[in-house]
Amino acid sequence: MGALFVRAAPFAAALLLPVTPALAASGEPVNPWVAAAYLVAGILFILALRGLSSPETSRAGNRYGMVGMLIAVGTTLVTHSIASLPEIGVAILIGGGIGFITARKIAMTDMPQLVAGFHSLVGLAAVLVGIAAYLNPGAFGILDATGEILTVSRVELGLGVAIGAITFSGSVIAFLKLNGNMSGAPIMLPLRHVINLGVLAGIIGLTAYFAIAPTVGTGAIFWTIVGLSFLIGFLLIIPIGGADMPVVVSMLNSYSGWAAAAMGFTLGNTAMIITGALVGSSGAILSYIMCKAMNRSFISVIAGGFGAESGPSDGAAKIDRPWKRGSAEDAAYMMKQAENVIIIPGYGMAVAQAQHAVREMADMLKEEGVNVKYAIHPVAGRMPGHMNVLLAEANVPYDEVFELEDINSEFAQADVAFIIGANDVVNPAAKTDKGSPIYGMPVFDVEKAKTIFFVKRSMGGVGYAGVDNEVFYMDQTMMLLSDAKKMCEEIVKAL
Amino acid sequence: MDFISILSIFVMACFVGYYVVWSVTPALHTPLMAVTNAISSVIIVGALIAAAAGAQADGGQAAKWLGLVGVVLASVNIFGGFAVTERMLAMYKKKERK
């Protein structure tokens, strides 16, 4: 059989030859053209990510990704028995339609929950594929000579469904928290670390046992792995608070990749393995960047509970300190006179949908000859790059938007720092107060600016870390207490 | 393919991923998540195999339906993920030089 395929030189001709699925089995010959097609798909996915190194190349990258997916799906369809083709077509139409419409309609501010929702689907799809492979191992070519599932495939299957299930239930919780269906506050179960470690150990132990057990009676073990994995995903995410969501979303992104990779191992499919590895590393790197930007260890984020310990009483006590209230007119006047204005957006801007009003304000200032820049902290918002997308949506050119390390030295020359919906990322306690929960987190040096405007809904609320902010009480600070969008619109009127 | 060649591909791809992702500009981290989401739905390949296999074995019929549901879920992600990435990337514009 193998020799026949090697001789079938023309690419298209080789693809048209139906390959029996069993040929894809580990250790058996694989149609080299099929393998090559999957490899090409994998390379196109690498190029898709490579394109994101700059906004100019990013759209071409996205197209590479689409072509890669087309090749992977097309190759699979032509090389497998196409008896179910009508059903498959309907399934793709239904799914594709839902996905496409959702992608068109979703508001940019809702992007974090959309991504979390999408992650849950990858996880669930991985679980379904894993179960299907367990039920019909012959079709996946993972049987050994005696008709049993190969040991190595059992390990891969067990891991694949476990990671998929964790991705699914974890992402569902993340979605509910981000979407506001569930409180963003951490939910702390007693003994949760013991329970979580116990469940994890159970999953690992059962997977090992599933690999070596005789086939008869493995059903119960397999289903228990699936069930426990759904449970642990749920348990892992409920104690994690809203401010740590960027890390959680990145982590689940990573998991969805590892789930795809594990299934790729089962199928011996290079496109799935390459993609899984890419997505897995991507999510892991994003989690690392987010943790570093908060000066927290990954373990402490996963352990959860951040922001739960702050009592309202100590917050109230500190608010008795004197602070100055500014008006939209003050802000308009001061910024019109300024030479350099730096705008620092945070999650509050997303909640108030204020990005368009902010850009309008910046445009008016630019007409007055003011140099306006935006400063974005890596953890601003609810997912990596959240603020950048919102500003891009409001037509803010990306070369006016700067990252923390690129702009932090400019605050000393700034006349006005305009903080809108951010709090912890401008808190000097991170630099000075060793006892503060955010100590060591890299923050903007806003206190070096000549004047600070702090847009905030009220004085009562403190940031997600539950820490009071020295900036509120500084001599050069004026608090603009209002809804972020309303305040910007008032400033625009006053300009 | 034997396990060790598959493992080699996997490890190499992890390294490629590591270097490629570090070169992604932080401004595009949200599109990065959306597009990785879309491409991780290459898991649709597994769902297609299950759906295409039909009733070859005892569990074949059940596997087929699970596969079809998997195809629906993965398709939501593929179309949704690429479309939303495209939408986001179209918004990133450079300053207009007058």
The string of pLDDT tens digits covering residues A46-90 is 999 999 999 999 999 999 999 999 999 999 888 876 667 888 999
- Secondary element (H or E) of residue A372: strand A371-376
Residue A19, min C-alpha distance to chain B (Å): 12
Query: Which whole number is the average pLDDT over A195-220?
Result: 83
The rounded distance, in Å, linking the Cα atoms of A19 and B52 is: 12
Report chain B residues whose CB lies below 8 A from the CB of A399. Answer: 94-95
Residue linked to tokens 């995410």: A237
For residue A267, the distance in angstroms to the closest alpha carbon of chain B comes to 7
Rounded (10°) angle between helices B29-40 and A32-51: 160
- pLDDT over threshold 50, residue A438: yes
Q: To the nearest 5 percent, what fractions of chain B are helix, strand and coil?
A: 80, 0, 20
Going B48 to B49 to B50 to B56, the CA torsion angle's sign is: positive
**Pairing status of strand A371-376 against strand A416-420:** unpaired
Cβ-Cβ contacts under 8 Å, B49 against chain A: 21, 76, 80, 139-140, 267
pLDDT of A312 over the 60 cut: no
Q: What is the mean pLDDT of chain A?
A: 84
The active-site residue out of A320, A406, A424, A475 is A424
Per-residue pLDDT for A227 more than 90?
Answer: yes
How confident is the model at residue B8, as a pLDDT? Answer: 93
Whether residue B95 lies within 8 A of chain A, CB to CB, comes out as yes
A427: alpha, beta or left? (left if phi > 0; alpha if psi -120 to 50): beta
- What value does the mean pLDDT take over residues A324-335? 87
Q: Using CA atoms, how far apart are residues A371 and B12, in angstroms rounded to an integer?
A: 46
**Radius of gyration from C-alpha coordinates of chain B:** 19
Please state the pTM of the whole predicted model.
0.85
Q: Distance between CA A436 and CA A433 in Å, rounded?
A: 5
CA A441/CA B22 separation, integer angstroms: 21
Shortest Cα–Cα distance, A101 to chain B (Å): 8
ipTM: 0.93
Contact A423, A434 (CB under 8 A): no
Q: How many residues does chain B have?
A: 98
Which chain B residue's Cα is nearest to A138? B57
Q: Return the residue matching tokens 């990013």.
A: A58
By Cβ distance, the residue of B37, B39, B67 closest to A119 is: B37
Q: Which residues contact A225 (CB under 8 A, 6 or more apart)?
A: A158, A161, A162, A203, A206, A207, A210
What is the tens place of the pLDDT at every residue in A446-495? 889 999 998 888 776 655 556 678 888 888 888 888 888 888 998 988 88
- The H-or-E segment that residue A477 falls in is strand A477-481
In this predicted structure, the answer to whether residue A309 has a pLDDT above a threshold of 60 is no
Mutation target to probe the A interface, by most A beta carbons within 10 A, among B14, B25, B49, B95 is B49
Quick one: average pLDDT of A319-336?
83
Q: How many CA atoms lie within 13 A of A173 on its CB side?
A: 25
Q: What CA–CA distance (Å, rounded) separates A392 from A337?
A: 27
pLDDT band at A32 (very low <50, low <70, confident <90, very high): confident
Number of Cβ within a 10 Å radius of residue A82: 13
* Residue from the list B24, B43, B79 with its beta carbon closest to the beta carbon of A260: B43
CB burial string A439-448: b at 16+ within 10 A, e below? eebbbbbbbb
CB contact under 8 A, A68 and B86: no
Give the model's pLDDT for residue A475.
85
Cβ–Cβ contact B98 with A under 8 A: no
* Distance of alpha carbon A222 from alpha carbon A234, whole angstroms: 19
Whether B8 contacts chain A with CB within 8 A: no
Q: Can you give the pLDDT at residue A181?
A: 85
Across the interface, of B2, B9, B76, the residue whose CB is closest to A121 is B76
**Could you confirm whether A406 is annotated as catalytic?**
no
SS3 of A227-284 = HHHHHHHHHHHCCCCHHHHHHHHHHHHHHHHHHHHHHHHHHCCHHHHHHHHHHHHHHH
- Of the candidates B10, B49, B91, the beta carbon closest to that of A273 is on B10
User: Which residue from A227, A274, A295 is spatially nearest to A438, judged by alpha carbons?
Assistant: A295
Rounded (10°) CA dihedral A451, A454, A460, A461: -130
Three-class secondary structure of residue B34 per DSSP: helix
- Tell if the CB–CB gap between A139 and B50 is shorter than 8 Å: yes
Confidence at residue A30, expressed as pLDDT on a 0 to 100 scale? 63
* Of the candidate ranges A203-212, A236-245, A369-378, A410-419, the one whose mean pLDDT is the lowest: A236-245
Residues 6+ apart with CB under 8 A from B53: A21, A80, A81, A136, A138, A139, B60, B63, B64, B67
Measured between beta carbons, which residues in chain A are less than 8 angstroms from residue B5? none
Q: How far is CA A30 from the centre of its chain?
A: 36
* Per-residue pLDDT tens over the stretch B16-52: 999 999 999 999 999 999 999 999 999 999 999 888 8
Give per-residue pLDDT as tens, B52-86: 876 556 667 888 889 999 999 999 999 999 999 99
Task: Tell me, letter by letter, the H, E, C secondary structure of A317-351.
Answer: HHCCCCCCECCHHHHHHHHHHCCEEEEEECHHHHH
Amino acid at B85: T
The nearest CA of chain A is from the CA of B56 a distance in Å of 7
Q: Is the separation of the CB atoms in A32 and A2 below 8 Å?
A: no
Which letter, b or e, does each residue of B21-54 get, where b requires 16 or more Cβ atoms within 10 Å of its Cβ? Answer: beebbbbbbbbbbbbbbbbbbbbbbbbbbbbbbb
- Residues of chain A contacting residue B26, judged by C-beta atoms under 8 Å apart: 289, 376, 378, 384-385, 388, 403
Query: Residue A346 is encoded by which pair of tokens?
Result: 């945070």
Is any Cβ of chain A less than 8 angstroms from the Cβ of B56? yes
Cβ contact B53–A279 (<8 Å): no
C-alpha to C-alpha distance for A269 and A220, rounded to whole angstroms: 28
Q: Would you call B53 and A81 a contact, using CB atoms and an 8 Å cutoff? A: yes
CA distance A278 to A273: 9
Nearest to A383 among B18, B33, B93 (CB): B33
Looking at per-residue pLDDT, the higher value among A158 and A297 belongs to A158
Find the residue in B nearest to A272 (Cα): B42
Assign residue A217 a region (left: φ > 0; alpha: ψ between -120 and 50; beta: otherwise): left
Question: Is there a contact between A253 and A234 (Cβ–Cβ < 8 Å)?
Answer: no
First to last CA, chain A: 78
